[in-house]
Amino acid sequence: MESGLSTTFIISCRNLDGVGSSLSLIFGHVHCILSPSRGDWKPYSIYRVGVFITMSKVVLVQGSLGKDSKTAIVLEHIATLLVSHGIETEILDLRHLDLEFCDGRPLSAYNQDMQHAYAVLESADAYVLGMPVYQYSFSGVLKNFLDITTGAMRDKFAGIVCTAGGQGSYLASAELMKVLSFEVNVMSVQPTVYTSSASFQEGVLVDEKVRSKIEQLVQSLLRFLS
């Protein structure tokens, strides 16, 4: 089955005794269909098959407000890879949203950008969250955004990308994992991608080890989506 395609087979069939029946198979390949007719198993002859295919969607959340954000560079690279595997993607770049502070009001009382972001997150099957590392944790702007919108992410799964200045903050992603797990039961997909300033040259991701980690993360996401 193609990666990123959710397939439902709706099969109308008739067994050898002429008794009509129907069968739905989800995420499956049809090899043969048997009927426990009169206590024994007899094959069905399939005379009509309808296949309905929907594309999986991954939403990438870019959690940096930096003008030349390295987090954005990595997420764009990941989005391109996902699209090449037949996955629909959408990037929520927090630099381009009219962000409001979380103050406990209902979602309907926030502005249109926040409500739209919630709807986009709700439409996804999975996520990639890009977090710049500040004070050995994820950014305050990403935390504030998630405080408002994580309800849309419940019971799904996410990959995490860390961008830091140096090599000493690789455990910072654990803070984000805990928030996602404890608050809305989002499972973090491994590996976590970690980059430092040395991973980039003139706005281009050049670190081959990081690129390899990204490939591994994409493959993990594809396995969960298949």
Q: What's the 3-state SS for 80-111?
A: HHHHHCCCEEEEEEHHHCCCCCCCCCCHHHCC
* Per-residue pLDDT, 4: 60
Last residue of a domain, one of 54, 69, 95: 54
Q: Model's pTM, two decimal places? A: 0.77
Please tell me whether residues 119 and 205 are part of one structural domain. Answer: yes
Please tell me whether residues 64 and 140 are part of one structural domain. Answer: yes
Please tell me whether residues 25 and 103 are part of one structural domain. Answer: no
Last residue of a domain, one of 15, 37, 54: 54
* Per-residue pLDDT, 88: 98
Please tell me whether residues 50 and 63 are part of one structural domain. Answer: no
Other Cβ atoms less than 10 A from the Cβ of 225: the count is: 21
Measured between alpha carbons, how far is 195 from 165 in angstroms, rounded to an integer?
Answer: 8
Q: How many domains does the chain have?
A: 2
Please tell me whether residues 132 and 183 are part of one structural domain. Answer: yes
Measured between alpha carbons, how far is 152 from 123 in angstroms, rounded to an integer?
Answer: 8
Closest CA to 65 of 163, 160, 136: 163
Q: Which domain holds residue 31?
A: 5-54
Please tell me whether residues 64 and 38 are part of one structural domain. Answer: no
Q: What is the CATH number of the domain that holds 208?
A: 3.40.50.360
- Encode the chain (226 residues) as per-residue pLDDT tens digits: 455 655 444 444 444 444 443 333 333 333 333 334 444 444 434 434 444 446 899 999 999 999 999 999 999 999 999 999 999 999 999 999 999 999 999 999 999 999 999 999 999 999 999 999 998 899 999 999 999 999 999 999 999 999 999 888 888 999 999 999 999 999 999 999 999 999 999 999 999 999 999 999 999 999 999 8
Please tell me whether residues 159 and 173 are part of one structural domain. Answer: yes
Please tell me whether residues 97 and 171 are part of one structural domain. Answer: yes
Closest CA to 178 of 218, 138, 219: 138
* E strand map for the chain: 5-15, 20-26, 34-37, 40-55, 57-62, 88-93, 126-134, 137-138, 157-163, 187-195, 200-201, 204-205
Please tell me whether residues 126 and 43 are part of one structural domain. Answer: no
Please tell me whether residues 107 and 82 are part of one structural domain. Answer: yes
* Per-residue pLDDT, 168: 80
Please tell me whether residues 108 and 201 are part of one structural domain. Answer: yes
Please tell me whether residues 215 and 126 are part of one structural domain. Answer: yes
